[in-house]
Amino acid sequence: MRPAFNPDTPTWKVFLMFLVPMMLANVLQSLSGTINNIYLGQMIGVQALAAASSFFPVMFFLMSFVMGLGSGSSVLIGQAWGARQPERVRAVAGTTLTVGLLGGVIVALFGGSFAHLMLEKLHTPADIMAEATHYSRICLFAMPGFFAFLLLTSIMRGVGDTLTPLFALVVSTIVGLVVTPALINGWMGLPRLGVASAAVGFVASFLVTLVWLGFYMRIKGHALAPNRELMKHMRIDGAILKSVLRIGIPTAMQMVVMSLAEIVLLRLVNDFGSDATAAYGVGNQVLGYVQFPAMSIAIAASILGAQAIGAGHPEKLGAITRSGIFINLAFTGTLLAICYLFARPLVGLFTQSPEATRIALDLLYIVLWSALVFGCSAVVSGVMRSSGTVMVPVMLSIGAILLVEIPAAWLLSQRLGFGINGVWMAYPITFIAMLVLQSSYYRLFWRKQKIQRLV
């Protein structure tokens, strides 16, 4: 685990030491979902892949709240860690985990009952409805554990620990690699579960990892280990929750709007048939490998900024912003080149359907390059978030989604004759709008504000 922010270490070096394990962890997280989709597409068929893909916007919607909560708590934890206040760190972590677990229980109780209705409202194709519903219900009932897993790995990064989440994702990926094909093929006398195999593999992967994390963190004496010191803070502290939600709610709002936009876009995509739905799932998997590193860089910028503020060095925020943007251009740019060069074999990992392949390739060719723009915008908003400035950047992003992305997707696909490609074209248009808006606010207003600690 890294010590609190050290202003004497070159910013780019601190950034890379923090970033590389987190990027690898996010790649592994994407890899776990990718492998499950490869299993479904290759071992069962394109309809199985489409059935799992139909749940993606719902999952993203639920994750939005948790990631918003994790974002708010990691900023507070980063500032408390930078100020060398370990008891305060555990207090924030305890409140966050408690709220996350309660939220997961609510989703489990109500979400499973409405899974079929949600998928109907998304116009899920009839030929995949039954399997998509079964897949969705399994995932929804397991949300308490998944929320705990997401939050725990998020708050660990607030204390500078990106290695333990990486180890956790290694364990999770290995479990998924074994369980999902075993259930698809009925190995070792296990029942054949079809599409549900991927859902059960997903649940098994994070449950096993949570148990492993508990033992590992206690053995290592981790600052956030599930011991007596943390357990006494496993309650909702109203003052802490208010501070967490001050940052977390706007962040969650942004992600919720993004997820709702994805649901609207999926509704447009579904009207083009199950091959288009499958292509949408394939495209999201490949794009994840490009966007998750960009998001990792933004998270690193936010946490390093929070630690710098907590340590009393807000003057380092400009250097953190510049380092984040340059690293995004280098890392994300390299990944983009690889994805463009190997787009066809990447899509071929998931499906052999000629129509689904054609649609997925069009998606990648149109959207991939804009991940560079997305990453730069995310870094700028991440640094502003480290100081507690969240509402204006979030509203700018929400404005771009509601006023640019959704109208552009509908107009281009339904009115201007671009068909399914019109939906894909809306993504880069939106990312450009976000970057212009975020950068303008950063340069004209935020840099002139006085930065103060929140804890």
Please give the full DSSP string across 177-190, using - where no structure is assigned: HHHHHHHHHTGGGP
At residue 194, does pLDDT exceed 80?
no
Please give the full DSSP string across 77-108, using - where no structure is assigned: HHHHHHTT-HHHHHHHHHHHHHHHHHHHHHHH
Mind listing the pLDDT tens digit for each residue in 353-367? 888 889 889 989 998
Neighbours of 334 (CB within 10 A): 12
Q: Which sequence spans correspond to the domains of the chain?
A: 11-448
What is the signed CA dihedral for 170, 172, 177, 181, rounded to 10 degrees? 180
Closest listed residue to residue 355, CA positions, set 277, 298, 292, 418? 277
**Residue 23 pLDDT grade (very low, low, confident, very high; cuts 50, 70, 90):** confident
Mind listing the pLDDT tens digit for each residue in 213-272? 999 999 988 888 888 888 988 998 888 888 888 888 887 777 777 766 777 788 888 888
**Residue 117 pLDDT grade (very low, low, confident, very high; cuts 50, 70, 90):** confident
What pTM was estimated for this model as a whole?
0.73
Number of residues written out for the chain:
455
The C-alpha R_g of the chain, in whole angstroms, comes to 21
